[in-house]
Each structure stands twice: as C-alpha cells, then as structure tokens.
Structure 1
Amino acid sequence: MPAKAPFQPVDNEARSLANELIDTARFGALAVLSPETRAPSVTRIAVGTDLDGTPMTLISNLSSHTAALKADPRCSLLVGEPGPKGDPLTHPRLTLDCEAEFLPRDTDAHAALREHYLKSHPKAALYVDFADFCFVRLHVNHALLNGGFGKAFKLSASDLS
C-alpha cells in the first residue's frame, strides 16, 4: 500500500501564512550548488522583498554563494524562525524553490530597489553602494509550507502572488 502524501489541499489560510513568512522575513537560509564540488551549500542571507513582493537579497560578488548562483541560478530559500518558546519544529517555515536573477546596478530598477530595500534594512546603507554588492531577485517556482504539526502544503508560484 503506497504511503499517504503528507500534504493538505492549499487553502487561503496556507496562502496567507506563506505570504506572511515571506513579507516578514529579514534573513533566511539560502541553499545553492557549489560550482566546484556540485555539493549543496547553505548560507544565511539578508532577505527582503522587491516592489512587487518577490523575495530578494543584497549580496557581495566576493561570496561563494554569488559565484554559485551565477553558475547555476537554481536555489532554495528557507524563511521562518522559531518563536521564543516551544519546540522549534512546531513553528511555521517556508522553503521556496527559486531561480536567481541578478539586477544590473546601472538601471532605474536598481535605484528604486535600493531605496525600497533600505527602508527595511537601514544598516545596509553601510555597504549597499560598494561596487561588489548587487541585488538578486529570487523568482519562486513553487514552495513547501510547514505550518506546524500536521500542516504541510505544496504551493505554486501563483499561490504566493
């Protein structure tokens, strides 16, 4: 007998929780494939959303995850942090399957995103204009939401818009 899939049908409550996790995230765990070893590599990054709500980050060209994203733009982003009490595994979290898009610095879109990002990440003003930093949009293909015990959902990109 095949095992029962653990996922529930996506409803408005799941969509709302997933979007809240994206909108409130200030950092997350980014998973990439190392171009040298082809092994997975995970790092913590600052996270925000662009003007239309797409997850994005500001990263340095000197980092290994930037090189990995330039070699292969497929990545995953985990957002959602445990609360101050209880088992960390009972708190909601969202894994986003994404495709990275680097935003050129010399565009009007970059200037608008810079202003928008600094509203939620004011300390980034210290380095946002360094030549090695760039904005990267993380376009979501699909997502897995763990809303707590017994609350697992597979969401499409359209569920998050």
Structure 2
Amino acid sequence: MSQHTPFRPVDKTARTLARDLIEGASSGALATLRPDLELPSVSRVALATDGSGMPVTLISALADHTAALGANPNCALLIGEPGDTGDPLSHPRLTLHVTAMFVSRDSAEHTTLRSRYLALRPKAKLYVDFTDFRFVRFAVSEAVLNGGFGKAWRLAPADLWPDQRTT
C-alpha cells in the first residue's frame, strides 16, 4: 500500500520562496522546550541572517527561551507573516527545524554578526552591547514550507543553500 504525502517535489519555486522568507524575516516564532516543566513554549524573536543566509537572533540571558536553548538547543522557528487581507492560512510560511548555537561575545564571529545584524536591524543598537545579550546562530536540519493551500514542500539545507556546507 502506498503512502500519500502532502509534500510536492522540491523545485525552483519552493527553493526561491523559502530563501525569500528567510531573508525577509524580521522576526519569527521560536519554539523551545521549557526544561523546568518539559512543556513547549513559543516566543517571538527578532531575526536577521548571517553572511551565508542562515538565520540569527540576538537574545537576552534573562529570557525564558535562552534557558530553554541552553538546556536543549533543538528548537524550531516559524517565519512568514500573514498579509493584511485574506485568510491567514493562504499566506506562505516556513518552519525551520534548527539547532541553536550561542556565539561567544569575545569571538571574531560575534564582531562579524554584530556588524551585519546592526546593518539589518539598526534599532538593536540600543541593546546589542548589553552584557546579557548574545547572538544565536540557527543551524537548519530541515524546513517545511507551506506556500498556501495545497502547496507544501519538505526542504533540506542543501535546497536552501546549495552552494554552502551547512551544519
């Protein structure tokens, strides 16, 4: 008996839409697992990309999701906002299954991310240098793209960044 899958074969349309959603995301919903209660939790985080197009955020050590990521770096990001009109489910959105990697404040990577992040998110200048804030890179293991009703794809990192080695 054959299994029906809701996913279409990955094509140029899916790759382009997914990359556009990542590049254009100013925020996303970050899903983590709370270590104290082992319950899922979702937070809105600001997003940007690093020089290779991978998603990054800047988060405070005071946030619940920071503790959750420290205990379990496996998480998910949902990006893509509904438009001003129409059914919210008709607008594209992308779920990224990711591993969070904290960037040391005294590393060259931090300096590079800081410059790029501020170029993309200039309002972060207000808090980027607070000692409790750190950059987090998200290594993508899989992506699920919903392009609207009846348009779903499961993408691998190579579909998103074909010319780069991803972790």
Scaled by the length of structure 2, the TM-score of the pair is: 0.94
Aligned to 2:40: 40
Write the distance in 2 (CA, Å) between the matches of 1:2 and 1:9: 16
Percent identity among equivalent residues?
57
Matched, 1:63 2:98: no
Write the distance in 2 (CA, Å) between the matches of 1:4 and 1:121: 42
Write the distance in 2 (CA, Å) between the matches of 1:79 and 1:88: 13
Matched, 1:154 2:150: no
Where do residues 3-152 of structure 1 align in structure 2 (5 Å cutoff)?
4-152=4-152
**1:117-160 CA-partner distances (Å, limit 9, x unpaired):** 00111110000000000000010000100001110000001111
Gaps of 5+ in 2: 162-167
Deviation at 1:2, TM superposition (A): 6.2
CA RMSD of aligned residues (A): 0.9
Divergent runs of 4+, >3 A: none
State how many pairs are aligned.
Answer: 161
Write the distance in 1 (CA, Å) between the matches of 2:137 and 2:83: 27
Aligned-partner residue type, residue 117 of structure 1: Y
Match of 2:28, SS state, is strand
Write the distance in 2 (CA, Å) between the matches of 1:52 and 1:73: 21
Deviation at 1:84, TM superposition (A): 1.0
Write the distance in 1 (CA, Å) between the matches of 2:2 and 2:20: 34
Match of 2:141, SS state, is strand
Write the distance in 2 (CA, Å) between the matches of 1:107 and 1:143: 29
